[in-house]
Amino acid sequence: MRGRRLFFFTALLFLAVVVLIFAMATGAVDIPFKTVLAVLLNRLFSIPAANTDPTMEVIIAQIRLPRVILGFFVGASLAVAGVAFQGLLQNPLADPYTIGVSSGAALGATASMLLLPAAGIGSFYAVPLFGFAGALIALFTVYQLGRVGGRLPVVTVLLAGVVISSFFSALISLSMIAAGEQMRNIFFWLVGGLGFKGWPYVTLISLCFSPGLALLLYKSRDLNLILLGEEEALSLGVEVERTKKIVLVAASLVTAGAVSISGMIGFVGLIVPHAVRILIGPDHRFLFPASVLGGGIFLTITDTFARSVLAPVELPVGIVTAFLGAPFFIFLLRRHREKYRF
């Protein structure tokens, strides 16, 4: 197992680098790999780049690089949150959407587009900030609804999440009907996309992602033990309830960051954790880092596809993830179904 884990981890790391460079080279304007590498090396390590086209340099540094990194972060966030929710709720169907946090973020973002039409999509911060607030409101509500006498039983949290999720989705639909002109904007935001977002968004998402991931890594061993039975985890010295709360909050933070920036991108949080689990096993100490890579790779590929397949028209990446994700998942499931256990 140790050898297998190391192999897949190295492979994922390698793949991530290749995919990132490939993504930066691909788009409405194709850029040679050599140029991409030269610009990157120049930016990262100040290695002088010989005779590169300044337009290319701008495209890479100001448009493609932030977009690709943002995509990688969003994918990583959704995958990591998926791992956390599936582990926490001991349910293979759980993903960042089950718990209602992403619906909260979406409702917040929708509200900001409705209430602040002047700012609208144009404002960098209004949508994500509102989205983040919505995510927190959803989390707080689920937390309060799901809590039974100071404990967080898996079943009640799951139920509360599903209820809040449906309720908020209904509110979103309602506000879309009321939105009039803004409806199209809201719709495009909801189906998920990474277009027209520069470096500030990268900063924003890393502010959610980094502490969230750190907390999850810190609690990964405890999560393993809880997965084998809460009572025995307690008797092994794990602070079960505190761990569950920390994991819930951390995963929600990571989700809120991703959803409030990129909208509802489905499937990543569901299938990447499963795929990674098949590759490297169920140990969360390895599952979280590997999901960072797996989610990042998956969304980078799908986003590159989304913006280049019908260029210059961009497809919403959420549609592409579902399109590519569903068959991929079915393939995985069929190949591993007799071996596959959560």
Partner 1 sequence: MTAGDLMGLKMIVNGLSFSYGSALVLEGVALTIAEGDFVGIIGPNGSGKSTLLKILAALLKPAQGSVILDGRELRRWSRLDLARRIALVAQERGAGFNFLVEEVVAMGRYPYQGRFSAMGEADRRAVERAMHLTGCYQLRERELFSLSGGERQRVILARALAQETPCLLLDEPTSFLDIGYQVELLELLQSLNNREKLTVVMVMHDLNLASRYCRKLFLLHQGKIHACGDPAGVLNRENILAVYRTEVLIEPHPLGGSPQVIPISAKNLPGKTAYSGPVHLIGGGGSATPVMNELFIKGFPLSAGVLSAGDSDWAAARRLGLSMVEEAPFSPIREDRHRDNLGLIERSSAVVLAPLFVGPGNLLNVEAAGHALKQGLPVFVIDEPSIAARDFTGGRASLLYAELKEKGAVFVSRLDLLQLMKRDNGDGAILSHS
Residues making contact with partner 1 (CB under 8 A): 1, 90-92, 218, 221, 224-232, 234-239, 277, 281-283, 340-342
Axis crossing angle, helix 126-146 with helix 240-262, rounded to the nearest 10: 150
Least distance (Å) between residue 87 CB and partner 1:
8
How many other CB atoms are there within 10 angstroms of residue 184's CB atom?
A: 11
Instruction: Tell the residue number behind the tokens 């098949």, with chain if given.
Output: 278
Query: Closest CB to partner 1 among 230 and 314?
Result: 230
DSSP codes joined into one string, 57-112: HHIIIIIIHHHHHHHHHHHHHHHHHHHHHHHHTT-TT--TTTTSHHHHHHHHHHHH
Distance CA 95, CA 102 (A): 10
Query: Closest CB to partner 1 among 53 and 239?
Result: 239
Query: Closest CB to partner 1 among 68 and 88?
Result: 88
Nearby residues of 124 by Cβ (< 8 Å), 6 or more positions away: 200, 201
Least distance (Å) between residue 163 CB and partner 1:
22
Distance CA 173, CA 133 (A): 19
How many other CB atoms are there within 10 angstroms of residue 121's CB atom?
A: 18
Distance CA 80, CA 294 (A): 9
Least distance (Å) between residue 95 CB and partner 1:
16
Query: Closest CB to partner 1 among 5 and 43?
Result: 5
Helices marked H in the chain — which ranges?
2-25, 33-45, 54-58, 65-88, 101-115, 126-146, 154-179, 183-190, 199-218, 220-227, 230-235, 240-262, 268-280, 284-308, 317-336
Q: What are phi and psi of 53, to 5 degrees?
A: -65, 125
Closest listed residue to residue 321, CA positions, set 252, 279, 255, 263? 263
Query: Closest CB to partner 1 among 148 and 309?
Result: 148
Least distance (Å) between residue 317 CB and partner 1:
31
Query: Closest CB to partner 1 among 49 and 278?
Result: 278
Least distance (Å) between residue 80 CB and partner 1:
18
Give how far Cα 288 sits from Cα of 83, 90, 97, 153, Å.
Answer: 7, 16, 18, 23
Least distance (Å) between residue 269 CB and partner 1:
18
Query: Closest CB to partner 1 among 222 and 314?
Result: 222
Least distance (Å) between residue 234 CB and partner 1:
6
Least distance (Å) between residue 91 CB and partner 1:
8
Query: Closest CB to partner 1 among 89 and 256?
Result: 89
